[in-house]
Amino acid sequence: MWLNFFKLRLFCCLLAVLMVVVLVVNVTQVEYLDHETVSATFIDSSGQFVSSQVTGVNRNPYCGYEHQTLSSRERMEEDSLLAALQWQVPDVGPVPFLKSTDPSSSYFVILNSAAFFKVGSQLEVLVHVQDFQRKPKKYGGDYLQARIHSPKLQAGAVGRVVDYQNGFYKVFFTLLWPGKVKVSISLVHPTEGIRVLQHLQEEKPHRVYFKSLFRSGRISETTECNVCLPGNLPLCNFTDLYTGEPWFCFKPKKLPCSSRINHFKGGYLKGLLTATENAFFQSGVNIKMPINASGPDWVTVIPRRIKETNNLEISQGSGTFPSGYYYKDQWRPRKFKMRQFNDPDNITECLQRKVVYLFGDSTIRQWFEYLTTFVPDLVEFNLGSPKNVGPFLAVDQKHNILLKYRCHGPPIRFTTVFSNELHYVANELNGIVGGKNTVVAIAIWSHFSTFPLEVYIRRLRNIRRAVVQLLDRSPKTVVVIRTANAQELGPEVSLFNSDWYNFQLDTILRKMFSGVGVYLVDAWEMTLAHYLPHKLHPDEVIVKNQLDMFLSFVCPVET
């Protein structure tokens, strides 16, 4: 009996030792896999996502945003957003200009070259970056933009970039039309420039400053304003009572806070960079410069058979990338059929008996301007508003159409906005009844590019809450979000409105409104994929495609 008991104990001990050995081996393998996985950073058409292994979120102490009251769900969402946007820039210490990324020395090669490709095939491109001494770089973090295009067909689409954190990048394209397709890769900012932009975002969010005029009778004073202000001087607190959005001005010496007349952009701080840092922001050298191919930069694509094409369309799914492409200068979304509104009567028919609200910055004001210019029956009603500021109103009495535009609340870099016209989008949405004849479009991004991301997340959280409430009480209301877009960049603009900043805002917007029940006009891809130069306010052909997509949501193709 005792012998059997001893054997049983011995067996249990051996089993326990074996289990410990297996556990150690598995842990070692997991650590190895984690190390391998974290070495690749995933980027979409113009931006970078860190891998899911990143833990620990650094919150910006700006304006006490790290102490704001959030629910557990809101805190978790914010942590997730901030983690997803941590750009992996190696801490290699000060880097001289000659050792920074040189687009003219860097090159790309098409990896899976073939005699021809079929529509729907994947094209892989390898990018190798080098410095100004023509030496290969050993780390990643550069900001690249990539697209394929066929100039004769006026066709284009964006690519997805993967940063391997060792000086090599791989770009993936989906070939979406037949013909000769060319690859274009651009360096928007070198790694060394991104480090500077990160520092400015974290340490100098006040580099754009705002002012307000206070006036009573013959006395007037102008003071500085912002989301928060330094020092211990007396302040006027203009924090919104409903949304809690903070806004402050230094208190005038002789006038009460209630005497505020207007709001306007004060200006941009100068002398933000050292001479060494300035070298990383040179037009014609390392800002939005092409990276040339080593070998062919184009492929030939042939059509698929009808059956294969049908299968291709079915397999795209909800996570389609890219979201669309240009062909003959017309945007073709890959998820749904977009209509062409080439005649003013088509737009009138679509918007008949509808009220259309446009809220946001000047990029959605372009929609108001396009519609009132293109549709003759849509007549602008003069409200006496400042030019390019608003609010604006247009009416088509014959067809019972009402079109409104209003800018979003501060921060906003417009010239002069009257104080009583500083309305927050969330509050405006709360005042809309909604219904099948109500259409809302929102664009809010550009004026937040200099602030820490927490400021933008808070603003979108308030807007999203109001959108959800609107759709709850009036489910048939159409709500459309216009995304950010790429723009022209020079040394100064890069410090305030870089595509790298706006990519971050664009990513946040997409994630926060995913699954909310709104439609998305992908202005980001629509500017990157087009052959025209990038502009903050895109050219009319791009705006026209944006409006066609917007109107297709309002009046979809009947099936």
Residue 241, Cβ neighbours under 10 Å: how many? 8
Q: How high is the pLDDT of residue 115?
A: 75
In terms of residues, how long is the chain?
559
User: What secondary structure letter does DSSP report for 506?
Assistant: H
Fold for the domain defined by 330-554? Rossmann fold (3.40.50)
| Lowest-confidence region among 124-128, 275-279, 305-309, 333-337 | 305-309
Q: How high is the pLDDT of residue 89?
A: 85
Q: What is the pLDDT of residues 550-559, one digit of tens each?
A: 999 999 987 5
Residue 261 has pLDDT above 60, yes or no: yes
Q: How high is the pLDDT of residue 58?
A: 64
Q: How high is the pLDDT of residue 33?
A: 29
Q: How high is the pLDDT of residue 558?
A: 79
348 close to 375: Cβ distance less than 8 angstroms: yes
Burial readout 436-470 (b: 16 or more C-beta within 10 A, e: otherwise): ebbbbbbbbbbbbbbbbbbbbbbbbbbbbebbeeb
How high is the mean pLDDT of the chain? 89
Residue 479 has pLDDT above 60, yes or no: yes
The pLDDT of 79-103, averaged and rounded, is 92
127 close to 106: Cβ distance less than 8 angstroms: yes
Q: How confident is the model at residue 69 (pLDDT cuts 50, 70, 90)?
A: confident
Q: How high is the pLDDT of residue 308?
A: 52
Residue 234 has pLDDT above 60, yes or no: yes
Q: How high is the pLDDT of residue 455?
A: 95
Residue 386 has pLDDT above 90, yes or no: no
Residue 538 has pLDDT above 80, yes or no: yes
210 close to 263: Cβ distance less than 8 angstroms: yes
Query: Which residues fall within 8 angstroms of residue 187, CB to CB, at 6 or more apart?
Result: 101, 103, 106, 129, 142, 143, 144, 286, 288, 289, 290, 291
Spans of all domains in the chain: 97-189+286-305, 208-268, 330-554
Helix or strand or coil: residue 34? helix
The pLDDT of 473-483, averaged and rounded, is 98
Residue 54 has pLDDT above 90, yes or no: no
Q: What is the pLDDT of residues 414-425, one digit of tens each?
A: 999 999 999 999
Residue 32 has pLDDT above 50, yes or no: no
The pLDDT of 328-350, averaged and rounded, is 97
Task: State whether the Cα torsion 137-140-141-142 is positive or negative.
Answer: positive
Percent of the chain with pLDDT over 90: 79
Fold for the domain defined by 97-189+286-305? Immunoglobulin-like (2.60.40)
| Lowest-confidence region among 58-72, 238-252, 421-435 | 58-72
On the question of a cis peptide bond just before residue 61, with omega within 30 degrees of 0, the verdict is: no
Residue 2 has pLDDT above 70, yes or no: no
Query: Which residues fall within 8 angstroms of residue 106, CB to CB, at 6 or more apart?
Result: 127, 128, 129, 130, 187, 291
Cite the beta strand spans of 164-321 per DSSP E.
168-174, 179-189, 208-216, 219-226, 235-237, 248-250, 262-268, 289-293, 298-302
Q: How high is the pLDDT of residue 12?
A: 52
Q: How high is the pLDDT of residue 397?
A: 97
Q: How confident is the model at residue 40 (pLDDT cuts 50, 70, 90)?
A: very low
Percent of the chain with pLDDT over 70: 86
Q: How confident is the model at residue 70 (pLDDT cuts 50, 70, 90)?
A: confident
Q: On the CB side of 372, how many CA atoms lie within 13 Å of its CA?
A: 19
297 close to 182: Cβ distance less than 8 angstroms: yes
User: Which of 6-20, 255-269, 309-323 has the largest mean confidence?
Assistant: 255-269
